[in-house]
Amino acid sequence: MVPRFSQFPLMPLSSVLLPNQATALHLFEARYVGLLSECIAKNLPFGIALIREGREVGDPDVEPYLVGTFARFVARKTISDRRIHAIALGEGRFRIRSLDRSEPLLKASVEPILESRWVATERNQNLLDEARAAFRSHLETVFGGSDVGLRVARECDPMTLSFSIAGCLDVPAGKLQRLLEMTDTAERLEEMIPLMEMQTHAFAMTAQPTHLDLYAEYLSSN
């Protein structure tokens, strides 16, 4: 558990990182190349937050949203002396309490965000069943003609399922940020089910080509 008001290096991005979601990062600014080296050497997490105002590169006055996601580097590939491709994996969420701009690398004092306890009421169980069905239908629509085995990963965990669905939604970053900030799994599922159903219907109508790597964490080779 992260202590209240712990300080972490922060990487403001123009995209939202969700818990249990991987993101590809192209690092070339010295502050972020240094961050990667330190985090990997010491196995430390850092913070990623969506930019509310400002630019992703070289903006000392960038303003992030107050809710972000802890991340950990899990892979890297050196392209040149000053360029690195890296993969970071989202973990838990945090709320920013203050920002420290005294160094080139932005830092934030944060406290962890806890999800409300899932209560297995009849309403919540119905929501969970609907979400599982909508997600499975989406995957079957997307990969119905592909030679892959389909499964919904970790479907016994309602919160993880909700963020897995959110990661597949084709919605603006601001909408994903709203889902990230929610602390009630049932509320998140209720908002996402119709979005997932509409996206599945639109995909079925347009039959756009599928990139398997985008959905790899939800697919089984069996």
Quick one: 108 and 196 in the same domain?
no
Answer yes or no: do 18 and 104 share one domain: yes
pLDDT at residue 221 in the model: 43
pLDDT for 55 equals 86
12 close to 25: Cβ distance less than 8 angstroms: no
**Residues 9-54: tens digit of each pLDDT:** 999 999 999 999 999 999 999 999 999 999 999 999 999 999 999 8
Q: Both 137 and 176 in a single domain?
A: yes
For residues 28 and 103, membership in a common domain is answered with: yes
Same domain for 39 and 81?
Answer: yes
User: Given 80, 113, 146, which residue is the final one in a domain?
Assistant: 113
Q: Which of 45, 80, 113 is the last residue of a domain?
A: 113
Domain contains 1: no
149 to each of 108, 118, 144, 217, how far by Cα in Å?
42, 30, 10, 12
Distances (CA, A) of 4 to 22, 70, 113, 189: 25, 14, 10, 28
Q: How far is CA 125 from the centre of its chain?
A: 24
Residues 141, 200 contacting (CB under 8 angstroms): yes
pLDDT value, residue 183: 97
Q: Say which CATH number the domain at 50 has.
A: 2.30.130.40
Q: Which domain holds residue 82?
A: 7-113
Q: How many domains would you assign to the chain?
A: 2
Regarding whether 158 and 96 lie in a shared domain, the answer is no
- pLDDT, residue 82, reads 80
pLDDT at 222 (0 to 100): 42
On the 0-12 / 13-18 / 19+ scale of CB atoms within 10 A, 57 is exposed
Low-confidence ranges of the chain (pLDDT < 50): 154, 219-222
The reported pLDDT for the residue numbered 2 is 59
What pTM did the predictor assign? 0.85
Q: How far from 94 is each of 43, 54, 69, 186, CA to CA, in Å?
A: 19, 21, 6, 20
Domain membership of residue 2 (yes or no) is no
